[in-house]
Amino acid sequence: MSMNSPNSAADLQQLYRARFEGRFDYRQKVWAVLSQFFSRWIAPESAVLDLGCGWCEFINAVKCGRKFGMDLNPDAKRFANADVRILEQDCSTRWELDQESLDAVFTSNFLEHLPTKLGAEKALLEAHRTIKPGGHFICDGAEYPVCFFDHHVPLTELSLSEILQKCGFDVEFCRARFLPYTMSRGRQYPVWMLRAYLSCPFLWRIAGKQFLVVARKRAPSRHEPALL
Residue 17 has pLDDT above 80, yes or no: no
Residue 210 has pLDDT above 80, yes or no: yes
pLDDT bin (cut points 50, 70, 90) of residue 16 is: low
- How far is 113 from 19, CA to CA, in rounded Å? 14
**What's the confidence (pLDDT) of residue 105?**
98
**What's the confidence (pLDDT) of residue 194?**
92
User: Higher pLDDT residue, 82 or 9?
Assistant: 82
Cβ–Cβ under 8 Å, residues 77 and 56: no
Instruction: Identify the CATH number of the domain in which residue 127 sits.
Output: 3.40.50.150
Q: Quick one: average pLDDT of 2-27? A: 62
* pTM for this predicted structure: 0.85
Q: Quick one: average pLDDT of 151-166? A: 88
The answer to whether residue 228 sits within a structural domain is no
The answer to whether residue 203 sits within a structural domain is yes
**What's the confidence (pLDDT) of residue 224?**
56
The answer to whether residue 1 sits within a structural domain is no
**What's the confidence (pLDDT) of residue 182?**
62
The parent domain of residue 21 ranges over: 9-217
The answer to whether residue 223 sits within a structural domain is no
**What's the confidence (pLDDT) of residue 108?**
93
The answer to whether residue 49 sits within a structural domain is yes
**Which DSSP category does 192 fall into?**
H
Domain count, the chain: 1
Residue 193 has pLDDT above 70, yes or no: yes
* Nearest residue to 1 via CA among 78, 53, 49: 53
The answer to whether residue 29 sits within a structural domain is yes
- How far is 10 from 28, CA to CA, in rounded Å? 23
The answer to whether residue 4 sits within a structural domain is no
The answer to whether residue 3 sits within a structural domain is no
Cβ–Cβ under 8 Å, residues 76 and 56: yes
Q: Quick one: average pLDDT of 117-123? A: 93
The share of the chain scoring above pLDDT 90, in percent, equals 63
